Homo-oligomer: A and B are copies of this chain.
Amino acid sequence: MNINSRLLQDAIDALTLLPGIGKKTALRLALFLLRQPPQTTEKLTLALSRLRQEARFCRQCHNLADDELCAICQNHARDASLICVVESIREVMAIESTQQYRGTYHVLGGVISPLDGIGPEHLNIETLVQRCQNGKVREVIMALNPTLEGDTTAFYLSKRLEGMGLTLTTIARGIAVGAELEYTDDITLARSLAGRQPYQPQ
């Protein structure tokens, strides 16, 4: 495409910095905004600016927060003796969507990955240890992805939290609800057999 406008070219260049947005999509978005009333663009740019400038991370759990503490840590109805350790904000959202978990979270901000140069010192692990040292925490659930890095991180955490009198758990690995046994991979099937549970009629 031959863009004859400096303004349009700048807008396209800025939009293509976003993940999954190429030149054609950027052009479509820019021309869409041009066709809409100026308020649409204002609303978008204001919301993005405010998000980037005002969004903070919770002092306690490092989740996204509008204030010093996130909405979950502020909520006294949540069980503060239960901490669910996750890799990023996305996992907090996914677990919150289930509406089944009433404890708090701790966002690590990544997993230990020596190949990417990410060691324990780059993650929010010290603050987790401090939270556990106050004596009020009963259980730490490690909800990390079932990858080599996730398992390494879980192992490191288990060593750091050893001897604190905590219950350390990990979310269940097994076949997904609705999945078929025949098409489940070997490791998952083996883990779901090893982690078998007493039958409870629903």
Contact = CB atoms under 8 A, between A and B. Distances in A.
A187 interface: no
A40 interface: yes
For chain A, give the interface size range. 35 or more
B28 A19 contact: yes
B93 A3 contact: yes
Contacts of A51: 7-8, 10-11, 30, 33-34, 41
Given A34-B51, A34-B52, A5 B44 contact: no
Interface string A40-77: 11111111111111110000000111100011100000
The quantity of this chain's copies bound in the complex is 2
Contacts of A6: 66
A14 B47 contact: yes
A64 B17 contact: no
A70 B11 contact: no
A1 to B, nearest CB: 5
A55 B5 contact: yes
Contacts of A126: none
B5 A90 contact: no
Interface in A79-93: 89-90, 92-93
Contacts of A179: none
A66 B5 contact: yes
A18 interface: yes
A21 B24 CA distance: 14
Interface in A12-33: 13-15, 17-20, 25, 27-33
Given A11-B51, A14-B47, A15-B44, 17 more contacts: A2-B99, A5-B64, A8-B55, A8-B64, A13-B47, A15-B48, A17-B43, A19-B29, A20-B28, A30-B48, A33-B48, A34-B52, A34-B64, A38-B52, A41-B51, A41-B52, A44-B48
